[in-house]
C-alpha cells in the first residue's frame, strides 16, 4: 500500500450495482414519427429525409452556414436549424425548393396505392 494510506482509508470498489430489469423492445413501424405518436408522421419523415439531403449537400460543398443562407435566400439561424435536422416550419415544398436551388433535380411520382391510404417517400438516387 502507498505510504500514508491505511486500509480503512481505501474504498471498497467491489460493490455490486443493483440489477436492472431489461427494457422492453418494440418493433419499429419504420417511421419514428409514427412510433412516437406525432401528428402527420409521413410528412415529418419526408421533411426529415429532405432536410438530410440539404445537410449532405451543404457539407459536401463545405459551405458555411452564412454562404448556404445566401444561396437559399434564408437567414443563417434557419440554416443552423436545417443542419441539425430541424425542418421546423419549412414545408415539404419549401425544402424541395432548397434542393433545386442547390442544383438538385427533384422528381415527384404519383401512382395508385395498394393500400386504403397512400404513402409518401423520398428516394435518393
Given CA atoms 31, 114, 108, 39 in this order, what sign does their dihedral have? negative
Compute the CA torsion angle 74, 49, 42, 89 (nearest 10 deg).
-10
How far is the C-alpha of 7 from the C-alpha of 28, rounded, in Å?
53
Q: 34-101, superfamily in CATH?
A: lambda repressor-like DNA-binding domains (1.10.260.40)
**Helix, strand or coil, per DSSP, at residue 83:** helix
For 17-46, give the DSSP string.
PPPPPPPP-----S-HHHHTT-SSHHHHHH
Maximum Cα–Cα distance across the chain? 81
Write down the pLDDT at residue 90: 93
pLDDT along the chain (125 residues), means of 10: 61 68 82 87 91 96 97 96 88 96 92 82 78
Q: Is residue 28 within 8 Å of 35, Cβ to Cβ?
A: yes
Write down the pLDDT at residue 29: 84
Amino acid at each position: 500500500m502507498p505510504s500514508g494510506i491505511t486500509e480503512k482509508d481505501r474504498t471498497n470498489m467491489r460493490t455490486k450495482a443493483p440489477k436492472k430489469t431489461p427494457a422492453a423492445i418494440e418493433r419499429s413501424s419504420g417511421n419514428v414519427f409514427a412510433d412516437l405518436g406525432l401528428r402527420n408522421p409521413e410528412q415529418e419523415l419526408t421533411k426529415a429525409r429532405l432536410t438530410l439531403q440539404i445537410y449532405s449537400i451543404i457539407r459536401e460543398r463545405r459551405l458555411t452556414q452564412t454562404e448556404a443562407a445566401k444561396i437559399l435566400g434564408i437567414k443563417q439561424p434557419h440554416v443552423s436549424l436545417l443542419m441539425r435536422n430541424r425542418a421546423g416550419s419549412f414545408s415539404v415544398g419549401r425544402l424541395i425548393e432548397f434542393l433545386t436551388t442547390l442544383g438538385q433535380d427533384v422528381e415527384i411520382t404519383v401512382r395508385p396505392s395498394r393500400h386504403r391510404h397512400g404513402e409518401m417517400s423520398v428516394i435518393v438516387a
